[in-house]
């Protein structure tokens, strides 16, 4: 799979947000995993200011006060073993 992403900058050139623009899926299962929201680009759950350029698996840790999410980078598709790449396409 390959993900094209773009970075939005503040006026002082610090990175404001990184967001996926287009997903090039390697297999049908990867598309379903993104639809089901357990694999995604960056910190894709409960994050409005993503700073992460990796494709991650999300793990939920439920607490009485609310859920916390951990994101673990994956470098290969867990379904078809294709390499996962990300590329910045514009600023
Ligand atoms: Zn795949």
Instruction: Give the Å distance between the CA of 49 and the centre of ligand 1.
Output: 27
Residue 26 confidence (pLDDT) = 98
Give me the sign of the Cα torsion angle 26, 53, 35, 24.
negative
Instruction: Give the Å distance between the CA of 80 and the centre of ligand 1.
Output: 4
Instruction: Give the Å distance between the CA of 27 and the centre of ligand 1.
Output: 4
* pLDDT tens digit sequence for 13-39: 887 889 999 999 999 999 999 999 999
Instruction: Give the Å distance between the CA of 48 and the centre of ligand 1.
Output: 27
Neighbours of 69 (CB within 10 A): 14
pTM: 0.86
List the end-to-end C-alpha distance of the chain, in Å, as a whole number: 22
Here the tokens at position 41 are 């680009």
């Amino acid at each position: 799979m390959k993900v094209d992403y773009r970075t939005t900058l503040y006026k002082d050139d610090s990175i404001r947000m990184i967001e996926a623009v287009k997903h090039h899926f390697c297999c049908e299962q990867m598309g379903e995993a993104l639809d089901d929201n357990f694999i995604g680009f960056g910190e894709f759950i409960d994050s409005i200011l993503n700073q992460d350029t990796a494709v991650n698996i999300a793990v939920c840790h439920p607490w009485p006060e609310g859920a916390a999410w951990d994101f673990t980078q994956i470098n290969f598709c867990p379904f078809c073993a294709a390499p996962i790449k990300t590329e910045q396409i514009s600023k």
